[in-house]
Amino acid sequence: MSTPRPMGLPARPGPEEDFDTDDSVGPTGRPKRFIPPPPRLTGHGPAKVLAMCNQKGGVGKTTSTINLGAALTEYGRKVLLVDFDPQGALSVGLGVAPHQLDCTIYNLIMERGTSMSEVIMKTSLDGMDLLPSNIDLSAAEIQLVTEVGREQTLARTLQPTVDAYDFILIDCQPSLGLLTVNALACSDGVIIPLQCEFFSLRGVALLIDTIEKVRERLNPKLEITGILATMYDPRTLHTREVMARVVEAFGDVVFDTVINRTVRFPETTVAGEPITQWAPRSAGSQAYRALAREVISR
């Protein structure tokens, strides 16, 4: 990618200790399951489409989209990341300046003449591509209302690319509006990042209700792939209590992997690259690799 690195780049970290030791009980309170490295692929596609979804902002959707995508490429998977938030944070996190783009996912879904090759961008990782977005996409939410088949617009757009990738990850905006419904309507599964803090469970019932409605009315194959606990702080009783409640409420849907709170993630945004590149040996990198193995095995 040709975009210059932003100013004030933090110093690249050295190797860190992985504090995810081999305790037999994981942060979920369940025995840790061993998930072997996934089998090598001999070809690519059709992709499993996963929506990263939670109508609450700041829970780790975008961070998880970038880093899960990056970790999946380390296992030889071809990945397309779809920025489906008009804020364009996913694009920024990959070093793209979204406001400078003439062609984004907005043009792709709203204009018949725009082709995928005009919009799709390579990232700094081999095997990971990006459909960027910017503020233009906010207009689509309104314009789509009068479209025929408005909920399936993104599905129609992504359809021709499905065979070229193993995973398509859609970074949703923090709302349950028409854009998010479009993401759910074309997904095989939903990953719900959930911040380990007291009010995080508020709103999850509404999200699950929306997922069920989309499954009944638009997309019978849609399932909840997993709930991902983010910003976990093993030192506080509070996060451990929240975690216990999440596991109590959702059981095995909760991934064994949790993402600890660490300053490495805000750093990666400034650096414009995934944590697996920025700090490959950090605990955060290891966690997203473990998540990738879980996602492949589900």
**Interface residues toward ligand ADP, by CB under 6 A:** 57-63, 89, 174, 230-231, 259, 261-262, 265-266, 269
Which residues lie closer than 8 Å to 105 by C-beta, 6 or more apart? Answer: 82, 83, 84, 119, 131, 132, 133, 137, 157
Residue 230: CB minimum distance to ligand ADP, A: 5
Nearer to ligand ADP, 149 or 266 (CB): 266
Which long-range contacts (C-beta less than 8 Å, at least 24 apart) are formed by 99-104? Answer: 99/134, 99/135, 101/132, 101/134, 104/131, 104/132, 104/133, 104/134, 104/136, 104/137
List the structure tokens of 139. Answer: 């207009």
Q: State which residue, 5 or 156, has the beta carbon closest to ligand ADP.
A: 5
Shortest separation between residue 111's beta carbon and ligand ADP, angstroms: 27
Residue 56 in contact with Mg ion, rule: CB under 5 A: no
CB atoms within 10 A of CB 42: 6
Tokens of 61: 């959707």
Q: Write out the two tokens for 58.
A: 């700041």
Decide if residue 55 touches Mg ion (CB under 5 A). Answer: no
Span of 33-41, 62-70, 184-192, 224-232 interacting with Mg ion by CB under 5 A:
62-70
Closer residue to ligand ADP in complex, CB, 164/270: 270
> In the 8-state DSSP scheme, what is residue 133?
-
**Residues 33 and 158: beta-carbon distance below 8 Å:** no
Find the shortest distance in angstroms from Cβ 146 to ligand ADP.
29
Least CB distance from residue 23 to ligand ADP, whole Å? 20
Q: Kindly determine how many residues on this chain lie close enough to bind Mg ion according to the rule CB under 5 A.
A: 3
Tell whether residue 62 is a contact of Mg ion (CB under 5 A): yes
Residues that bind Mg ion (CB under 5 A): 61-62, 89
